[in-house]
């Protein structure tokens, strides 16, 4: 088993809609995919779940050329076969991709200005270095020279391409997930910084040289470089919209980027094939990147089928291995298992707005900055935490391959402060006493919805069983995802308000679901900040908002740590939801796969420097 930190041995017109025909084609694609319904949880958060609803893959063996020649010292060559657990459900363009399999593939076709490593460090990608402006507001980046776009564009990337890409992402008619109008994340990450009320994106993003781009933010943002590493912000040539026409973002064509691999071919349901881009700008330890000639992805939803294909060599990498299968695979000589700290989390949400017992404020639904925090509501929410056997979820459901979720940040985040976080070890007697002190008679009947997937149903049943000893009688109700999430985010008003609308399902009580990993601490805390598009808890506490603003705007790292530590203490004390676990990323690879580095989500692993030894 490999631990978390281990490695297995031409100019265009400026502005939105500059190329009208291609843009119209792209907008038709958007409409056809139904991407403005707000159903995706990948946007901005990179959902790292275990899938289960993907399309059937054919389990194919890929190209016959599967062998590299690492044995004789040359690591170049071969086709790497990857088994993905979920299907492609969105257009294959970074501005619109909303599923984890699309994100995995597109991450190899395009590059961002920056990249967030598995250790959550921000490093340059298409830029030469990351600046440190004292005001954290005017960010000027020098681009790498000689970076080429794939065929059929075949030209050098310039600063104007960066400007055009960001103006395109913002385009309100596109409704990509960084735009103001995207239904689930409309207030994250850039509105208020690059665009929004009174902010002109034509002024905030400018080419200040052929290879220099300047972002003049409307407010300070010390975490801005990390935001540039989000998946939708891969730089692409705007003329490709016309060049590829109706085929753009299709399985057969994909899109044109600057990444180590070009989109070669694909079909609905897979397989999908990427091929080496010989003019890629980067080199690695063993020479020109990438090392393999091609990557072939197949969609294999069934875990047992992926396991068999891995064992017999039909695939080299399985993106997801259920924890129960890890120990069995450890006995297979040709396979290496990987367990690394995950950034996704499973939670039990509660109705802070309309369930009196859970109320955030003394008045319901409450006015932030005017109404006092309800100490009774906080005590009841804390009681739910004490009534939950988090260790049972870790050990029974995940075979020890998870961590209890006590606060907003994962334990591997550099700003995580173990001493600041309030923990809630299983104590049903204390939980019951807290409920009775709050005037709640036991047994207390509660509705517990969950998305109808095994990981959520299993967690709900453990929550149900452990809470019964505290006098809480949960009725577990597995529902389709839309119905399960409906109590949280079902109304148009909720979407339009960016996650803080009063108009939610008043009959909703509590439910279990997941949110994916984020790129850095500020992004995780975004879910705790009033006015944020990912604030599905509807928490809006001025003191917490102020701490998060301090952390976001200062460039003093000690001051950021202090603000984040205080925010972790306050957020975990408020207990706006019952965080359950941070599941580990559990994967497996063939032993001939070399230089594989695990990421903190199932779909974020990079294959640029992977090679085959066979």
**600-609 confidence digits (pLDDT tens):** 887 889 999 9
The SS3 of residue 561 is helix
Using 50, 70 and 90 to split pLDDT, how confident is the model at 442?
very high
Does domain 345-583 fall under CATH 3.40.50.620? My reply is: no
pLDDT for position 40: 39
Read off the pLDDT of each residue in 579-600 and give the average, rounded to a whole number.
95
pLDDT at 28 over 60: no
Alpha helix segments (H runs only) across 490-556: 492-496, 521-525, 542-553
pLDDT at 56 over 70: no
Per the prediction, the chain carries an average pLDDT of 83
What token pair was written down for 5? 């930190």
Read off the pLDDT of each residue in 546-560 and give the average, rounded to a whole number.
92
Interacting residues of 141 by C-beta distance below 8 A, sequence separation 6+: 113, 127, 128, 130, 131, 212, 213, 214, 215
Higher pLDDT: 268 or 179? It is 268
pLDDT for position 517: 67
Round to whole Å and give the CA distance between 347 and 342. Answer: 14
pLDDT at 480 over 50: yes
Round to whole Å and give the CA distance between 115 and 117. Answer: 6
Higher pLDDT: 1 or 308? It is 308
Tokens 């291995």, residue located = 321
Interacting residues of 433 by C-beta distance below 8 A, sequence separation 6+: none
The angle at the Cα of 322, spanning 321 to 327, to the nearest 5 degrees, equals 85
pLDDT at 34 over 50: no
The angle at the Cα of 380, spanning 392 to 402, to the nearest 5 degrees, equals 25
Minimum mean pLDDT range among 297-306, 484-493, 520-529? 484-493
Every domain of the chain and the residues it spans: 20-341+586-612, 345-583
User: For the CA atoms of the chain, what is the radius of gyration?
Assistant: 24
pLDDT at 447 over 80: yes
pLDDT for position 536: 63
pLDDT at 312 over 80: yes
Higher pLDDT: 554 or 70? It is 554
pLDDT for position 197: 76
Tens of pLDDT along 222-251?
989 998 998 888 999 999 999 999 899 999
pLDDT for position 10: 37
Using 50, 70 and 90 to split pLDDT, how confident is the model at 299?
very high
pLDDT for position 600: 82
pLDDT for position 532: 59
pLDDT for position 3: 45
What's the start-to-end Cα distance of the chain, in Å? 21
Read off the pLDDT of each residue in 157-180 and give the average, rounded to a whole number.
74
Read off the pLDDT of each residue in 51-76 and give the average, rounded to a whole number.
48
Read off the pLDDT of each residue in 411-424 and give the average, rounded to a whole number.
95
Interacting residues of 334 by C-beta distance below 8 A, sequence separation 6+: 311, 313, 590, 591
Q: Which CATH class, in words, describes the domain spanning 20-341+586-612?
A: alpha beta
Round to whole Å and give the CA distance between 45 and 522. Answer: 12
Among residues 415, 603, 565, 585, the alpha carbon closest in space to that of 5 is found at 585
Using 50, 70 and 90 to split pLDDT, how confident is the model at 180?
very low
Tens of pLDDT along 489-546?
544 444 444 444 455 666 789 999 887 667 678 878 877 876 655 666 677 888 999 9
Q: pLDDT over 90 for what percent of the chain?
A: 59
Minimum mean pLDDT range among 16-20, 155-159, 194-198, 586-590? 16-20
Using 50, 70 and 90 to split pLDDT, how confident is the model at 5?
very low
Using 50, 70 and 90 to split pLDDT, how confident is the model at 365?
confident
pLDDT at 11 over 50: no
Tens of pLDDT along 205-222?
999 999 999 999 999 999
β-bridge pairing 578-583 and 402-404: antiparallel
pLDDT for position 194: 84
pLDDT for position 178: 46
Using 50, 70 and 90 to split pLDDT, how confident is the model at 281?
very high
pLDDT for position 261: 99
Tens of pLDDT along 89-138?
889 998 888 788 999 999 999 999 999 888 888 999 999 999 999 999 99
pLDDT at 187 over 50: no
Higher pLDDT: 271 or 200? It is 271
Round to whole Å and give the CA distance between 316 and 520. Answer: 30
Using 50, 70 and 90 to split pLDDT, how confident is the model at 404?
very high
């Amino acid at each position: 088993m490999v631990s978390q930190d281990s490695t297995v041995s031409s100019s265009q017109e400026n502005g939105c809609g500059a190329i009208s025909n291609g843009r119209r084609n792209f907008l038709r694609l958007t409409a056809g995919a139904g991407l403005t319904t707000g159903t995706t949880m990948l946007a901005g958060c990179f959902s790292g779940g275990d899938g289960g609803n993907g399309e059937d893959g054919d389990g194919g063996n890929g190209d016959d050329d599967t062998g590299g020649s690492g044995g004789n010292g040359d690591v170049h060559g071969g086709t790497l076969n990857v088994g993905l657990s979920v299907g492609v459900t969105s257009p294959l363009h970074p501005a619109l991709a909303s599923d984890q399999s699309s994100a995995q593939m597109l991450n190899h076709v395009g590059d961002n200005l920056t990249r967030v490593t598995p250790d959550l460090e921000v490093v340059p990608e298409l830029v030469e270095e990351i600046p440190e402006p004292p005001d954290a507001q005017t960010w000027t980046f020098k681009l790498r020279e000689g970076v080429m776009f794939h065929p059929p564009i075949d030209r050098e990337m310039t600063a104007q391409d960066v400007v055009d890409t960001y103006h395109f992402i913002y385009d309100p008619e596109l409704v990509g997930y960084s735009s103001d109008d995207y239904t689930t994340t409309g207030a994250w990450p850039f509105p208020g910084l690059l665009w929004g009320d009174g902010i002109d994106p034509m002024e905030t993003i400018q080419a200040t040289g052929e290879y220099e781009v300047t972002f003049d933010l409307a407010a300070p943002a010390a975490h801005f470089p990390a935001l540039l590493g989000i998946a939708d912000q891969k730089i692409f040539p705007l003329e490709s919209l016309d060049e590829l026409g109706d085929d753009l973002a299709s399985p057969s064509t994909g899109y044109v980027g600057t990444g180590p691999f070009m989109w070669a071919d694909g079909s609905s349901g897979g397989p999908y094939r990427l091929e080496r881009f010989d003019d890629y700008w980067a080199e690695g330890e063993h020479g020109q990147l990438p090392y393999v000639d091609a990557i072939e992805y197949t969609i294999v939803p069934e875990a047992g089928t992926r396991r068999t294909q891995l064992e017999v060599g039909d695939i080299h990498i399985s993106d997801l291995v259920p924890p129960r299968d890890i120990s069995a695979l450890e006995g297979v000589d040709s396979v290496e298992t990987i367990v690394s700290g995950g950034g996704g989390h499973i939670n039990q949400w509660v109705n802070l707005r309309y369930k009196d017992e859970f109320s955030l404020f003394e008045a319901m639904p409450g006015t932030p900055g005017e109404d006092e925090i309800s100490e009774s509501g906080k005590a009841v929410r804390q009681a739910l935490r004490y009534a939950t056997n988090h260790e049972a979820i870790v050990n029974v459901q995940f075979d020890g391959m998870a961590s209890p979720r006590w606060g907003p940040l994962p334990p591997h985040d550099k700003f995580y402060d173990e001493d600041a976080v309030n923990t809630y070890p299983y104590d049903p007697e204390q939980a019951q006493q807290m409920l009775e002190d709050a005037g709640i008679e036991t047994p207390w009947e509660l509705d517990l919805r969950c998305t109808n997937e095994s990981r959520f149903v299993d967690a709900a049943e453990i929550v149900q069983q452990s809470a019964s000893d505290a006098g809480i009688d949960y009725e577990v109700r597995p529902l389709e995802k839309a119905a399960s999430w409906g109590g949280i985010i079902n109304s148009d008003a909720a979407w339009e308000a960016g996650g803080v609308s009063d108009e939610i399902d008043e009959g909703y009580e509590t439910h279990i679901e997941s949110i994916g990993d984020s790129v850095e601490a500020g992004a995780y805390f975004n879910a705790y900040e009033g006015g944020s598009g990912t604030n599905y808890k509807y928490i809006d506490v001025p003191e917490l908002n102020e701490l998060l603003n301090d952390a976001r705007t200062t460039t003093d790292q000690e001051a950021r740590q202090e603000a984040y530590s205080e925010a972790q203490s306050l957020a975990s004390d408020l207990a706006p939801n019952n965080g359950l676990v941070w599941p580990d990323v559990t994967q497996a690879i063939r032993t001939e796969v070399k230089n594989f580095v695990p990421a903190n989500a199932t779909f974020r692993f990079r294959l640029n420097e992977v090679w085959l030894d066979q």
